[in-house]
Amino acid sequence: MSDILLSTKSLVAGYGEASVLAGLTFTLKRGETLALLGRNGTGKTTLVDTLAGLTTHHSGEIHLDGLDITRMRPERRAAAGIGWVPQERNIFRSLTVEENLTAIARPGAWTVDRVYGMFPRLKERRGNLGNQLSGGEQQMLSVGRALMVNPKLLLLDEPLEGLAPIIIDELLAALAAIVKGEGMSAIIIEQKARKILPLCSEALILDRGAAVYYGPSAALLEDEALLGRHLAIER
């Protein structure tokens, strides 16, 4: 078995005839987590959406666990091992927390009780409808629902956006447990680079759909010039 879980080769994709990703090539090993960074409009969400099967593929390849998923429909990619947490969360607002978790569940190590153990707030609100939850609770539910697919790879699009500081801390602790404690492979888009880089083994910075940094997250965290140049981050 190869230690490479995900690979893209010369990937060009976008929306309709417009290309956003400009021949992107990278790999992610099993058990590794990738911080996907860049200014707004550089192609981060397009990359995650492309991996989930939601954009127009123009050329290039995507392989997941040795399987060519380049032209697979989104539901087949989910069955192949892609768990997706979109920026919009997309929970079922008319279903209860527990119904949200069980609606798309697949057999595996992640069960409802295990998700409740990771997110105690969800257990407390298991009978509440999705539209009765706070923004932070909806985000926890979105992550929990993705885990219930029992994915090989978890895709998270700005999971900390718009959340209160105390909820950010709770969610970061849960994500650390998932990717470090459980060894779940993940790709995380996040504007708060200093918060997410310590959770990740690798980092990829995009600019105009192309990689301008691809390497260890620890090295990026210490490179003030690079952070400032591409992310406008100052200490």
Q: Could you read off the pLDDT of 33-71 as tens digits, one per residue?
A: 999 999 999 999 999 999 999 999 999 999 999 999 999
Confidence at residue 80, expressed as pLDDT on a 0 to 100 scale: 96
In percent, how much of the chain has pLDDT > 90?
89
Q: Are residues 1 and 56 in the same domain?
A: yes
CA pair distance 174, 144, nearest whole angstrom = 10
Q: Are residues 170 and 111 in the same domain?
A: no
DSSP one-letter string for 77-122? HHHHTEEEE-TT----TTSBHHHHHHHT--SSS--HHHHHHH-HHH
CA pair distance 89, 197, nearest whole angstrom = 22
Q: Are residues 184 and 102 in the same domain?
A: no
Q: Are residues 144 and 208 in the same domain?
A: no
Domain's final residue, options 105, 123, 150? 150
| Residue 234 pLDDT level (bands cut at 50, 70, 90) | very low
Residue 165 phi, psi (nearest 5): -55, -40
Confidence at residue 152, expressed as pLDDT on a 0 to 100 scale: 97
Asked if residue 16 lies in contact with residue 203, where contact means CB atoms within 8 angstroms, the answer is no
| Residue 230 pLDDT level (bands cut at 50, 70, 90) | confident
| pLDDT tens-digit map of 63-109 | 999 999 999 999 999 999 999 999 998 899 999 999 999 998 999 99
Q: Are residues 177 and 68 in the same domain?
A: yes
DSSP one-letter string for 47-77? HHHHHHT-SEEEEEEEEETTEE-TT--HHHH
Q: Are residues 127 and 187 in the same domain?
A: no
Q: Are residues 54 and 114 in the same domain?
A: no
Residue 223 belongs to domain with CATH number: 3.40.50.300
Helix (H) or strand (E) holding 207: strand 202-207
How many domains does the structure of the chain reveal?
Answer: 2
Confidence at residue 233, expressed as pLDDT on a 0 to 100 scale: 58
Q: What is the mean pLDDT of the chain?
A: 94
| Residue 24 clears pLDDT 60, i.e. is over it | yes
Q: Are residues 70 and 160 in the same domain?
A: yes
Read off the pLDDT of each residue in 155-166 and give the average, rounded to a whole number: 94
Q: Are residues 75 and 102 in the same domain?
A: no
Q: Are residues 222 and 177 in the same domain?
A: yes
Q: At what angle do helices 135-147 and 165-176 cross, to 10 degrees?
A: 10
Containing domain of residue 201, as a range?
1-81+154-235
What's the length of the chain?
Answer: 235
Read off the pLDDT of each residue in 194-209 and give the average, rounded to a whole number: 95
Domain's final residue, options 107, 130, 150? 150
Helix (H) or strand (E) holding 217: helix 217-221
Residue that is written with structure tokens 């939601």 in the block: 54
**Residue 185 token pair:** 């492979």
Helix (H) or strand (E) holding 13: strand 4-15
CA pair distance 10, 8, nearest whole angstrom = 7
What is this structure's pTM?
0.94
Alpha helices in 85-216 (DSSP H): 97-103, 112-118, 120-124, 135-147, 165-176, 193-196
Q: Are residues 122 and 169 in the same domain?
A: no
| Residue 235 pLDDT level (bands cut at 50, 70, 90) | very low
Residue 229: Cβ-neighbour burial (10 angstroms; 0-12, 13-18, 19+): middle
Domain's final residue, options 111, 127, 150? 150
Confidence at residue 116, expressed as pLDDT on a 0 to 100 scale: 97
Residue 155: Cβ-neighbour burial (10 angstroms; 0-12, 13-18, 19+): buried
Confidence at residue 231, expressed as pLDDT on a 0 to 100 scale: 85
Confidence at residue 228, expressed as pLDDT on a 0 to 100 scale: 86
Q: Are residues 175 and 233 in the same domain?
A: yes
